[in-house]
Amino acid sequence: MITYDIIRNNESVRTYIKNADEVLGTLGFTEHSFAHVTKVADTANYILSTLGYSKAECEIGMIAGYLHDIGNVVNRIDHAQSGAMMAYRILDSLGATPDEIAVIIGAIGNHDETTAVAVSPVAAALILADKTDVRNTRVRNKDMTTFDIHDRVNYSVKKSNLTISDDKLIIELELTIDTNYSSVMDYFEIFIGRMILCRKAAEKLGMKFKLDINGQQLL
């Protein structure tokens, strides 16, 4: 069985993540490096483990989370599909089983907003984990006078918390936004597609997705 620790400590994987993040930095995107992929892996594990999936399935979810953005080293366009093919080669070389590889590359290949579909529980967990990683530490730009809307929205987020209800029927993203930097409408302008995708992913897992911003339920 392939494990998360094997992937996380693999030098080739770490090189791809580092270089993919540098590509996105050049293109003006927010942080997609080790902080992001680790948080996505941890959140995917939280979702799957809370819902009672097996340890093996949770490991697969963490691996998919950690590898999901390596395709950006090729190009931002179609990075989900590029990343899936790269992940196939990595996983195959490390002795992962065909079943493990199939689930992981299916999740990676279906995580980007333009083509995303929650094709499996692991894919659903990856989508939810990836699209809810909104935080001010992802902003690279240090000059607030040149912030674009993505910078403003991420910078405005002072607190972000994704939780599953005790009855496991609701998964909720709670955000605290400083409206001096960004309005709630700004958030919706750039993230409404992601939030709809989260709702569909939650449905795949038998839950409803809710969004709370500054104490007001918006989804």
What is the Cα–Cα distance from 106 to 80, expressed in whole angstroms? 10
Which residues pair with residue 177 across a beta bridge?
A: 157
- When pLDDT is cut at 50, 70 and 90, the band that residue 183 belongs to is confident
What is the Cα–Cα distance from 137 to 145, expressed in whole angstroms? 17
Identify the pLDDT of residue 188: 81
Query: What is the DSSP annotation of 111-151?
Result: -STTT----SHHHHHHHHHHHT---GGG-----GGG--HHH
Residue with tokens 């005790």: 166
Residue-wise pLDDT for 105-135, tens only, equals: 999 999 999 899 999 999 999 999 999 999 9
- When pLDDT is cut at 50, 70 and 90, the band that residue 53 belongs to is very high
The answer to whether the CB of 201 falls within 8 A of the CB of 113 is no
Q: What share of the chain has pLDDT > 70, as a percent? A: 100
What is the Cα–Cα distance from 65 to 59, expressed in whole angstroms? 10
The answer to whether the CB of 117 falls within 8 A of the CB of 123 is yes
DSSP designation for 70: G
The CATH topology of domain 4-217 is Hypothetical protein af1432 (1.10.3210)
What is the residue extent of each domain of the chain? 4-217
- When pLDDT is cut at 50, 70 and 90, the band that residue 63 belongs to is very high
Which residues pair with residue 176 across a beta bridge?
A: 159
